[in-house]
Structures are given as C-alpha cells and as structure tokens.
C-alpha cells in the first residue's frame, strides 16, 4: 500500500490586493495565508509519511512570482527532501514553465512544458506507480491534452497530473479543455487535476479529482479549502481523506431586505448572524442584502457611509480567530424577475459579470483596451479596491435592469 498527497492551486503569495487596500491592517495576515496553508500541508505530508506529493499546477500566483514565494517553495521542498518524500510538480496557467526558473532540490520532479513527462515512484526497490504529467509552456493552453496521456509502464498504478478545465466548468478559463468521458476511458487509475478551485470528485471509477485550492482567495471561494490525502491499498482500492488547510475563511451572510428596513435593524441582524458563525479561524464576511428597502439603500448608498458602517465590527486581528465584515452589497432580484423566460441567458450573464467584478485582476484585464485612453486613467484607479468594484457592480445591475425594462 502507498499514500500520496494531492494538492493544486496553492497560489503562493497571492497579494489580496483589493481587500488589503480597503483594510490595510489585514494586509500582512492575508499575505501570509497562502504560504501558511502550504506550510501546513507539507507538515501533514511529513506526519502522515506519504510516499510522494503531487502539485497539479499554480503553485505560484503569478509568472512574476515574488522572492518570498520562491524561497518558501524551496524551503518546503527541502523539508520534504529531509524525509525522503518526492514531489511531482506541474506548472499551470498562473505559473507557466520558466526555463530560467529556480533549481529545485533533487526530490522535486517537474513535468516538461507542452509534452507528457513520465516518472516512476518507488517504495524501496518496488515500483508503486507511474506518474505522468504536463506543464503549461504559456498561460493560455487551448488544446485538449488528454489524448497525449497513455499509460505505459508495467507499474501497478497509473496517475495522470493535469491542470485543466474538465467539461467547461464555469468561473475558470477554459484551458487544456478536457472531457471527463475521455479521461474515464484513458486507462489511468487516478487523474490528479488542478485549475478549478472548487473541490470535487468527478469520477470514482477511475478517480478523477479536483482537490480545489488550498486557501480561498476571495469571497466567492468560501468554505474550508485543502488537499486530498490518497491511500491506495494492495488491491488498488483508493480512499480519499480531505486535509483542511485554510488559514482564513471567506463567507457571505445573506439577509432578506424585508427583515432590515433601516440601518438600526441591519446592525442587529448582522450582529446575530456574526454571533452564530463560531468559526475556529479568522473569517472575512460579506453582507449581502437581497431586495434592500429604499430607505436602507439610500442610507448606505455612498461608499464612505458603507465603509463607516462596517467599521463598527473591526476585529482585533492579532488573535487566532476573528471576524471581519469587509463589505456590504445589495442584490435586487427585480432584475432577475424581469428576466423570467429568458432566465438562462440573463441570469448567466449577470452571474458572469458579478464574477468578473469579484476578481480585480480579471476585470482590469478585460478593460485594458479602455484604459489605454488617457481620459480613463482615473477610472482605472477607482476600480482597484473593493469599493470601486462594489459601485461598478451596482451600476451594472441597474443599467442592465433599465435596459431590459426598456425592451419590455
Ligand atoms: Mn488556479
């Protein structure tokens, strides 16, 4: 029997730019979060004496990763080397393979860029698994790589490591687009995936698994994140144990507008909801009010007022757990009801727009051609940070609503 740790999307040294700008006293703790979750998982791999560790892409948050990210990765790989644990590393769209990149210790095996690399894992003299994988040569990989994976050796167990979007999962770029049906037919026992940040087991015969990322990076990545500890018994039976690794949680609290006619009521309802959270970790909360009353929307219309309102819950971040209410957003379902009948198209459009506005970097990227105009410089600066994007989200929703109503 053997065991391995399957992780992906560590995104070391994610800057958390938007939220750090609105809440500068959180910046240091946030900037440690991805590093600390990786450190925790490596510690667990050592405690559990796994045979090897798989990292299925996006170890780094960006191609121009920081010195701190590189040194941290090296330090963690050294720790694993000290315990004789090998690492099989694929590069993903956030950290494509870099010929001038860091030289890793000898226990680290990096999959080549744009073609399948094959390694054999041993226990003593016995081969226990063949591990195949590919790294991204550049950020945007448009072709399906699955057909290039063919189990070859006589090893008793075959693993494929791939950073890919399977069956067009929403919310993530459609890179290395793969089909689950093809993966199931491929002859591999375990597909160790990365890219989609939501943990999910797509198939158990054979295993096709996204472990999700190891630390949520924004409000849409809520819940506890981590990695899978995979045990393979002598008859090739596989069992998965989820190993939590989040150092900070993100959570949205949804409140019915009817129950909070004014800001006094909102303070009470939010206070009650926060009392019930009771998480063992720091939590960053978004308050989402569905159908806000006109009065409440007016009271909290200006970004300065919203910011002042949120400051009443500023936590003492030095402690091991704290709760911080970072933003408040209003959702008007009047928009959605106007779209009944064309629901699929409009609800999906709005969902995609919301998602874009929750991801600062993606948003700036989409709007880049606009920012080339000198007159747009000021706008760009305003879109950096939660406040600017909240304002943009609300304007977009009302613009779309006005447009739909105008169309009848
Ligand atoms: Mn990723």
Distance 58 CA to ligand 1 centre (A): 5
The three-state secondary structure class of 118 is strand
Distance 210 CA to ligand 1 centre (A): 11
Residue 61: CB partners within 8 Å, gap ≥ 6? 11, 12, 13, 14, 15, 34, 69, 94, 95
Distance 197 CA to ligand 1 centre (A): 6
The pLDDT tens digits of the residues spanning 28-62 come to 888 889 999 999 999 999 999 999 999 999 999 88
Residues 182 and 306 occupy one common structural domain: no
The pLDDT tens digits of the residues spanning 289-331 come to 998 888 998 888 887 888 899 989 888 777 788 899 988 988 8
The pLDDT tens digits of the residues spanning 364-376 come to 777 877 777 777 7
Residues 300 and 216 occupy one common structural domain: no
| Residues 129, 2 contacting (CB under 8 angstroms) | yes
Distance 312 CA to ligand 1 centre (A): 34
Mark which of 212, 227, 244 sits at the end of a domain.
Answer: 244
Q: State how beta strands 249-256 and 238-244 pair.
A: unpaired
Lowest mean pLDDT among 2-16, 123-137, 276-290, 319-333: 319-333
Distance 9 CA to ligand 1 centre (A): 4
Q: Provide the pLDDT confidence category of residue 361 given band limits of 50, 70 and 90.
A: confident
Mark which of 214, 244, 274 sits at the end of a domain.
Answer: 244
| Residues 245, 286 contacting (CB under 8 angstroms) | no
- Domain residues for the domain of 385 are 249-407
Residues 233 and 350 occupy one common structural domain: no
Distance 363 CA to ligand 1 centre (A): 16
pLDDT, mean of residues 103-114: 95
Residues 166 and 214 occupy one common structural domain: yes
Does the pLDDT value for residue 407 go beyond 50? Answer: no
Residues 232 and 292 occupy one common structural domain: no
Residues 267 and 227 occupy one common structural domain: no
* Angle ∠(150,152,157) on CA atoms, nearest 5: 95
Distance 305 CA to ligand 1 centre (A): 35
Distance 114 CA to ligand 1 centre (A): 18
Residues 140 and 234 occupy one common structural domain: yes
206: preceding bond cis by omega (within 30 degrees): yes
Distance 293 CA to ligand 1 centre (A): 38
Distance 107 CA to ligand 1 centre (A): 24
Q: What is the CATH number of the domain that holds 32?
A: 3.60.21.10
**pTM recorded for the entire structure:** 0.81
Distance 164 CA to ligand 1 centre (A): 10
Distance 226 CA to ligand 1 centre (A): 13
Q: State how beta strands 207-210 and 200-204 pair.
A: antiparallel
Mark which of 220, 244, 268 sits at the end of a domain.
Answer: 244
The pLDDT tens digits of the residues spanning 209-229 come to 999 999 999 888 999 999 999
Distance 151 CA to ligand 1 centre (A): 26
Distance 216 CA to ligand 1 centre (A): 11
Q: Provide the 10 A C-beta neighbour count for residue 204.
A: 10
Residues 221 and 341 occupy one common structural domain: no
Does the pLDDT value for residue 404 go beyond 90? Answer: no
Distance 57 CA to ligand 1 centre (A): 7
Residues 214 and 259 occupy one common structural domain: no
Residues 206 and 269 occupy one common structural domain: no
Distance 195 CA to ligand 1 centre (A): 5
* Range 315-321 contact pairs with CB under 8 angstroms and sequence separation of 24 or more: 317/25, 317/26, 317/29, 317/282, 320/281, 320/282, 321/279, 321/280, 321/281, 321/282, 321/283
Residues 189 and 45 occupy one common structural domain: yes
Q: Provide the pLDDT confidence category of residue 403 given band limits of 50, 70 and 90.
A: low
Q: Give the model's pLDDT for residue 94.
A: 92
Distance 407 CA to ligand 1 centre (A): 39
Q: Give the model's pLDDT for residue 370.
A: 78
Q: Give the model's pLDDT for residue 347.
A: 65
Q: Provide the pLDDT confidence category of residue 128 given band limits of 50, 70 and 90.
A: very high
Q: Give the model's pLDDT for residue 378.
A: 75
- Count of structural domains, the chain: 2
Q: State how beta strands 2-7 and 226-232 pair.
A: antiparallel
Q: Provide the pLDDT confidence category of residue 145 given band limits of 50, 70 and 90.
A: very high
The pLDDT tens digits of the residues spanning 56-90 come to 999 998 877 788 888 999 999 999 999 999 999 99
Q: How far apart are CA 114 and CA 368, in angstroms?
A: 29
Residues 205 and 320 occupy one common structural domain: no
More confident residue, 50 or 347: 50
Distance 218 CA to ligand 1 centre (A): 12
φ, ψ at 156 (rounded to 5°): -75, -15
Q: Give the model's pLDDT for residue 169.
A: 87
The three-state secondary structure class of 95 is coil
């Amino acid at each position: 029997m053997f065991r391995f740790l399957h992780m992906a999307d560590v995104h070391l040294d994610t800057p958390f730019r938007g939220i750090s700008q609105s809440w500068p006293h959180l910046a240091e703790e946030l900037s440690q979060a991805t590093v600390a979750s990786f450190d925790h998982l490596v510690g667990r791999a050592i405690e559990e004496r796994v045979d090897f560790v798989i990292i299925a892409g996006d170890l780094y948050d960006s191609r121009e990763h920081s010195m701190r990210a590189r040194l941290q990765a090296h330090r963690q790989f050294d720790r694993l080397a000290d315990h004789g644990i090998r690492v099989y590393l694929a590069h993903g769209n956030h950290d494509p393979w870099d010929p001038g990149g860091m030289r890793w210790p000898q226990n680290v095996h990096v999959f080549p860029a744009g073609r399948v690399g094959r390694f054999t894992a041993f226990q003593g003299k016995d081969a226990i698994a063949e591990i195949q994988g590919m790294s991204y040569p550049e950020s945007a990989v448009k072709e399906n790589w699955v057909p290039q994976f063919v189990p070859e050796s006589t090893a008793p167990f075959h693993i494929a490591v791939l950073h890919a979007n399977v069956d067009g999962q929403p919310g993530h770029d459609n890179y290395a687009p793969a089909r689950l049906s093809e993966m199931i037919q491929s002859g591999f026992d375990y597909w160790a995936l990365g890219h989609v940040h939501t943990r999910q087991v797509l198939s158990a015969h054979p295993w096709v698994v996204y472990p999700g990322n190891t630390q949520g990076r924004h409000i849409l990545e809520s819940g506890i994140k981590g990695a899978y500890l995979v045990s393979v018994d002598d008859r090739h039976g596989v069992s998965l144990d989820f190993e939590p690794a989040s150092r900070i949680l993100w959570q949205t609290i949804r409140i019915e507008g009817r129950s909070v006619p004014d800001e006094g009521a909102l303070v009470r309802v939010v206070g009650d909801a926060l009392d019930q959270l009771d998480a063992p970790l720091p939590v960053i909360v978004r308050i989402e009010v569905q159908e806000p009353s006109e009065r409440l929307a007016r009271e909290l219309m200006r970004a300065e007022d919203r910011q002042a309102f949120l400051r009443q819950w500023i936590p003492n971040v030095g402690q091991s757990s704290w709760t911080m209410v970072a933003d408040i957003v209003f959702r008007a379902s009047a928009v959605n009801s106007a779209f009944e009948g064309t629901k699929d198209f409009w609800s999906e459009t709005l969902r995609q727009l919301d998602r874009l506005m929750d991801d600062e970097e993606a948003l700036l990227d989409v709007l880049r051609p606009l920012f080339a105009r000198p007159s747009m410089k000021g706008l760009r600066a305003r879109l950096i940070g939660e406040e600017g994007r909240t304002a943009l989200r609300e304007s977009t929703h009302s613009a779309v609503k006005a447009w739909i109503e105008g169309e009848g």
